[in-house]
Structure 1
């Protein structure tokens, strides 16, 4: 309770000091949330109203218990499979149950904590950089590349994307300017124009429905989507988030991997019974919300209240309006979020926490912690491991492949060291 009181005091103080930045930061992850949530809702793979209400509740609880702008975002691997194969609601939530169940076991047995200590920092950094570059590529290919100078409409085209990008450049040196908030409001205004009067939301009170997946639906969701999500959630949504929060917000208590894992598990083991979208905490979302001004849990709590209000009052009638949201503006927001996440790679050889000479638990920030100096050879080896991880992740679009590639390169480097050591001893 003392920790929660401290976090609450920081939330309130931060919100009072810079309310617009907190509001703007809360919208930083919309570029990831909206496209996946809308497409799943249009395909009848999730309940939009339940997703808004419950994810809003998770936002509020996350802000209370963690005190940082930790996002509640879609499980991307599950969403991708569910969209491509047009999963039913039962199949989608079954995939979420599978991932959540495994993460829950990892959390309560201490395996997540063990993973954090044994996985090399260059591999974790590689997962973060790779995830950031994946967002950049996604923004270009799926959101920005299809745009023309006047297509698909006067309210969503290449000139709007250029305007959003130039605005991003002009506001980079002005953190008090709520870029994400202004772009969101502009996009909402354009959405009303694109949707037309016939597709505007109407009052529909939220009515939750209990869902019990059948065995065939559970088997399909678990095998075809749930298992593939496990490495992505473990690496990018838990371990990478733990490291990133320590890097971005060193003055606040860093959430443990076990607590983040339990949070992911509980959200899905509860929400799935009512048709909510499978969700997790992601390093990309944390970087995005930080990039656009969020510095405390107050930001995600405000977002949670807004989502609950929309879900309770308008529910499924929001689908067409959200579907019309301009991809030109979403694409630039995703691009900015990806670049922010990829930037964490610069601290690999200077500022990384595995270089600390003191006790990590007592460290305050990377700048004030004494760190071990690396030789030129060590720096090159760490860069090589990180980029091997990035390369595997991007080439196969799979965090697990990147993870194995990075570990393999690290292992090969260690074997070379042992071989050199043995040869030197033999010569002696």
Structure 2
């Protein structure tokens, strides 16, 4: 059964099984990162889920298509592994939101990407993937048998063609285990206060994380997503318009306890692959996030098995790493991606970003 609503000439909302499966396809990368962030930092998980729920609905209605709303993976990943505190994450989110709003308004998105260079952006993705993989191993060592069992489940489901669904299965098992341990939480509405988990702090680490994230966001969340809007949905949405909407999202959500969010080409492609064709998918997913926000009690999150969390981070890290290398076609770019990733792992992501940009410019001047 499908229910459709037409708003104007372009903006269709449909509520059907395919829109629901498309919505779930987008949650595969969001929920593991959100749960990991809630388990490893002082972030308020109900407020984070509230932010995702609201802005899934807002941008689904505004654009009339299943536009993705995802965590800013570089910043979230750095917070999960302890490189950024929550205060620094909040500051980086506000800084990133302000820059995205400004460059989108001035029409500078394409120019910003050309300055950085795609191999450098992909290298930052690889660095975050490696850091998440390192954190996943540390979490899994607490209970290796549970971690191995989780990996077996993921592997078996992947072999029969349900790789993305496997993440939701493992996440569900971990959630059930947490509820059994901590009990069923009572619904509670998150209080709307400014910075409920702490005030932002602008530090060198926050600035470095912001710069690294902006490189990824411009390339993947603005330019690549704008191209996919035309290819998949025949919609002419500019990268600068997407940049402005991401800026608004960060500036509105972070002060109220949310996390830095962006649009993503991977999430948009995932929604399309799983059947989403209208903004109805966003409305359905947004309602789901809002429902989770009501029961995201701290006791349940604290009881979530860390080894299962490690399995989820392995899957996210592998997907992020695959995406980093997927568009690379020549040896010079491959070396730059790998170099930025390794420097980011053993040293600092911000330093890796700067060194990678310098190397990109030097290599681009050579014949």
Same fold (TM over 0.5): yes
Q: Which has the higher contact order (CA 8 A, sep 6+)?
A: 2
> Which residue does 2:56 correspond to in 1?
59
Q: Distance in 2 between matches of 1:247 and 1:86?
A: 32
Q: Which residue of 2 aligns with 1:205?
A: 189
**3-state DSSP of counterpart to 1:395:** helix
Corresponding residue for 2:134? 141
Q: Does 1:396 find its partner at 2:337? A: no
Please give the per-residue CA displacement for 1:7-57, whole angstroms capped at 9, x wherever unaligned: 533x62xx64734641431222136523543145xx32x322221112211
Residue 159 (structure 1) aligns with: 149
C-alpha spacing 1:191/1:260, structure 2 compared with 1 (3 Å): same
**Given the superposition, is the C-alpha separation of residues 159 and 410 from structure 1 closer, same or farther in structure 2, using an over 3 Å criterion?**
same
Q: Which residue of 1 aligns with 2:231?
A: 250
User: How many residues are treated as equivalent by the alignment?
Assistant: 352
Match among 92, 96, 106 for residue 95 of structure 1: 92
Distance 2:307 2:58 in 1: 28
Match of 2:3 in 1: none
Partner residue in 2 for 1:22 = 22
Q: Deviations over 1:328-381 (max 9, x none)?
A: 5414531553365246416x6xxxxxxxxxxxxxxxxxxxxxxxxxxxxxxxxx
Distance 2:293 2:168 in 1: 18
| CA deviation string 1:34-88 (max 9, x = no partner) | 3543145xx32x3222211122111222333342442321453366258637746
TM value normalised by structure 1? 0.68
Q: List alignment gaps of at least 5 residues for structure 1.
A: 172-176, 349-382, 414-428
Task: Choose from 99, 107, 110 the match for 1:110.
Answer: 107
- After superposition, residues 231-250 of structure 1 pair within 5 angstroms as 231-245=211-225, 246=227, 250=231
| Conservation of the 8 A alpha-carbon contact between 2:222 and 2:264 | no
In structure 1, distance between residues paired with 2:128 and 2:195: 32
CA contact (8 A) 1:284 1:338 kept: no
Unaligned runs of 5+ in 2: 1-5
For 1:227 and 1:81, how far apart are their aligned partners in 2? 13
CA 317–4 in structure 1, closer or farther in 2 if over 3 Å, else same: farther
Q: 1:130 to 1:170 in 2, by over 3 A?
A: farther
TM-score by length of 2: 0.77
